[in-house]
Each structure stands twice: as structure tokens, then as C-alpha cells.
Structure 1
Amino acid sequence: MAPDPVLEVVVTSAEEAVTAVAGGADRLEVATDLHADGMTPALAEFRRVRASVDVPLRVMLRDHGGFRAAAPERLRDTAAALRAAGADAFVLGFLTPGWALDLPAMTAVLSAVPGCRWTFHRAMDHAADRAAVRRALHALPGLDTILTAGSVTGVADGLDVLLSEPAAPAPAVSVMAGGGLLPGHLPALRAHGIRAFHLGTAVRHGGWNTPIDPAAVRHWRGLLDGATTHREPYTHAG
């Protein structure tokens, strides 16, 4: 039997975490500054989120706009503090100025959270050579998810790429589709074997600075569970 699909929602606060879980999210990505692709949340806010919900959390480790590590040593210290506060899974991904995987930065940060699972985020979509980055990732312990839209501009432009790549690119590693994900993308992605889906603006109807709509999360939950179809219209209040 195929595993149940995973619905991950990006949250910035304990209040958003409660809303997302009430709507049916299985897992949360905890971040701040979402308009800048997500930065590491404050330690105090992570603690509030952790205390407010009991679903798995993945915490963003990112200190700079773009996909380069501005200060890996400082970020390593931040990761260690988050780990000490109860974080056990993370989201990160750093590229060199030439858009290859920045192995020294990745290794430095991951050294602070040994044994933790982590997601390589949409840095994959900015890489000069996706296949080379994927091969290089195999040297890093703990990776279990690659979050990608297939394109810098989102799933609408990257769908063909996602469908041309393996849904499980390595043992114990799976692809999570996210970045401009639309309901109409789900049938092809599910048929290809992708079982995890990441939502941000799709459940915020006014952009990153607006609250999560629990009805939108419930609608996506229904789509993934087969309770509704992508043809069914969704109208949010307000």
C-alpha cells in the first residue's frame, strides 16, 4: 500500500502553526521573512511553535537572501541552539557563487545537528546543474527530502522537470513538490510517485504577509486524501 501523502505548510508563528494543523497539515516548516524565501526563526518563536502543536517540525537554517551562506559559523551556532531547544529536523541548502553545492558551508552547519533529518530546499531550483547537486548531496548524512518546484519560477514552469526526475532520487530520500503549487498539478505529480507537498502562498490569499486560511489548508488536505478533485472550486471568505 502506498504511504499517505504528506502535507507540509510553512508557518511563522505559534498561531499560524495551530491554524495549519487544524486544517490538516502533517508537518510544518518554521521560518520567518517569507518574502525573502524564508530565514531562521527566532529561538523564542520556535519554542512557542513547538509548545503549541505536536506534529513534526522542520526549522529553516538560512541567514541571507538568496542561497548562499553569509556566515556559516554563526549559523552553526544558531542551529546548535535550536537543537538544544528541541528542534530535530531542519531545512537548508547553500550554493556557491557558481551555483554548485557549497559543501563546506553545508558540512559546517550540519556538524551542529548530527543525527538530525533535513530537507534540501529550493536551492536545487537555482543550481547550475541539478544532477550534479543531487550527486553531491549523497555525501551528506541526514538528508531525507529535496524540496523543489523544478524551476526558479515555480511548478507551473518546472512540472516537466519534476516529471523527468526520480521521485525518490536515492535510498531514504524523496522529492517534495512546492513553490507555486496548484491543485491541477497534483494528478501528474501523484502519478509520478511524489508523495509530499509543500504549501506557502497557496494557503495565504493575500501573499506572505497575510494569515493562513484554515479552509484553504482543509481543501488541500481533501485534494490529497481524495475527498475532493482539483476541478472543485474553492472560495475563501474575505
Structure 2
Amino acid sequence: MIVEIIATTLSEAKMAEQAGADRIELITAFQEGGLTPSYGLIASVVKELQIPVNVMVRPHSYSFVYGQDDLYTMREDIRTIRELGAAGIVIGCLTPERKIDIAALEALLEEAKGLDVTFHRAFDEAADLLQAVDVLTGYPQINRVLTSGGKTSALDAISEISVLVEKTKGTQLSILAGSGLTVESLAGFIEQTGVTEVHFGSGVRYDQDARQPIDPQKIESIKKLGR
């Protein structure tokens, strides 16, 4: 089982790696759902860590609908993230009709050659999740979808996530389940859904609070469950 941990600082990223995380999602503005971090933070985390670092590319938190100025900014960010040596990027874009924005997605992927690509929880706001995942399987560059099954918490979407796991079998896409997971709920959730990648943010922090530091013992407990 691959365990991805959200980090917002170099100290958090190092702590997560030491506790056993397999991959970092590097963001800023945690309480806004994650925005693109500074180049200095990206550079320092990539330099100091041995595990893969995937960087959020999201210029604002207004919505997942992006205009040309947004896309210009995001393409510039992707280019710099690649130059800084990060393993991958985390992106997502929708149309006003809540479908995958194919034109925007292709523009971003054009800059992402050679990078690991996650489509983030913009996916959960799509009008039809199965149609959205069909679109994403058509892009070999995209390796996984971060999703809570269209619900606020993945724990409330066990059937939906199970369907997504089954639907993506035999494709390049993995289902990265996240949002609402806890150490205590994880074993049963994995057994019921069949997911092989899990994503933790507030679930590995003290009091399960995004404003609190990472609790390394929670990451260690999660890794023990996956052995």
C-alpha cells in the first residue's frame, strides 16, 4: 500500500518521510484545499527528501474552472516544478458544466512530460464520476485520481470508490483514496474498497486538525497496517 502525506513545510515533509511516508503531496494553504507552494519550498523539499515529491498546481481556490490567464500561470508553474526536480504534479480542471476540461487538461499535460501526474479532487465535483474517469483513462500521462468518491469523506463513499477501483483495473490509473480517513478506519476501508494508495492530510495531524503539526506515530501506524 502506498501512503501519500500532505506536507506544507520542509519540516513536515522530512518528518513524514522519516515516519515512513511513500510520497509527499506538497502544498500551501491547506485550509483552502491546497494551492501551489513557493519555489523555495519546492526546491528545499526536493533537495532534502529521498521519496517522491508531487507538487500541487492550483493558482487559486475560487473554483476548478480556469481561464487563459490561470492556465498561463499553471503552465509556468509546471515548467518550474519540473526544473526544480520534483517527481510530479497534482492538477485538476473542470468546465462550468462540471465535466473534465479537456482543452485545459491537454495544455497542462503538454508541459508535464516526464512528470508523475495526479488528477486531484476536482474530480469529486464532476457531474458524472464514471464519465470523468473514462476521460482520464485516455491520457497515459495521468497515473492516478485522488478522490473521496464524490462525498465529503471517503468513508461515506465505500461503494462509489469500490466501483472506481474496479473500473480502472487494467488501465494506467490508480485510485488514490483520501479525505476523512483515519488510522482506526483504514484497515476496514482498504478491505472493502480494494484501494492500493491512500492519501492523508488532517488525518495524520494532532486532533485531526489541519492547523496542527503532523503526528509521526499516526504515519507509522498506517504503514504497519499496509505490511
Settle same-fold status: TM greater than 0.5.
yes
Question: Distance between the aligned counterparts of 1:130 and 1:21, measured in 2?
Answer: 32
Q: In structure 2, what is the equivalent of residue 180 of structure 1?
A: 180
Aligned-pair CA distance for 1:168: 6.2
1:57, 1:89 within 8 Å by CA — same for their partners in 2? yes
Q: In structure 2, what is the equivalent of residue 31 of structure 1?
A: 27
Aligned-pair CA distance for 1:185: 4.2
Q: In structure 1, what is the equivalent of residue 128 of structure 2?
A: 129
- Code of the residue aligned with 1:25 in structure 2: it is A
1:167, 1:194 within 8 Å by CA — same for their partners in 2? no
Segments of 5+ residues of structure 1 without an aligned counterpart are: 226-238
How far does the alpha carbon of each residue in 1:82-118 deviate from its partner, in whole angstroms, 9 at most, with x for none?
1111123111111111110011111112211213221
Question: Distance between the aligned counterparts of 1:91 and 1:120, measured in 2?
Answer: 6
Q: State whether structure 2 residue 8 is matched by structure 1 residue 12.
A: yes
Question: More helix by proportion, 1 or 2?
Answer: 2
How far does the alpha carbon of each residue in 1:154-213 deviate from its partner, in whole angstroms, 9 at most, with x for none?
112212211233356152211111111133243342454311110000111242122111
How many aligned residue pairs are there?
A: 221
Which secondary structure does the structure 1 equivalent of 2:206 belong to?
coil
Segments of 5+ residues of structure 2 without an aligned counterpart are: none
Question: Distance between the aligned counterparts of 1:91 and 1:14, measured in 2?
Answer: 18
1:89, 1:118 within 8 Å by CA — same for their partners in 2? yes
Which secondary structure does the structure 2 equivalent of 1:32 belong to?
coil
Q: State whether structure 2 residue 203 is matched by structure 1 residue 202.
A: yes
Equivalent of 1:67, from 58, 64, 71?
64
1:181, 1:199 within 8 Å by CA — same for their partners in 2? yes
Q: State whether structure 2 residue 162 is matched by structure 1 residue 163.
A: yes
Calculate the TM-score normalised by the size of structure 1.
Answer: 0.87
Aligned residues with identical type, % of pairs: 30
1:151, 1:157 within 8 Å by CA — same for their partners in 2? no
Q: In structure 2, what is the equivalent of residue 228 of structure 1?
A: none
Calculate the TM-score normalised by the size of structure 2.
Answer: 0.91
- Code of the residue aligned with 2:222 in structure 1: it is W
How far does the alpha carbon of each residue in 1:47-106 deviate from its partner, in whole angstroms, 9 at most, with x for none?
111112100111111112132235111110111011111123111111111110011111
Which secondary structure does the structure 1 equivalent of 2:220 belong to?
helix
Aligned-pair CA distance for 1:220: 1.3
Q: In structure 1, what is the equivalent of residue 94 of structure 2?
A: 95
The structure-2 alpha-carbon separation of the partners of 1:148 and 1:186, relative to structure 1 and needing over 3 Å to count, comes to farther
How far does the alpha carbon of each residue in 1:96-146 deviate from its partner, in whole angstroms, 9 at most, with x for none?
111100111111122112132211111121110111111111332311111
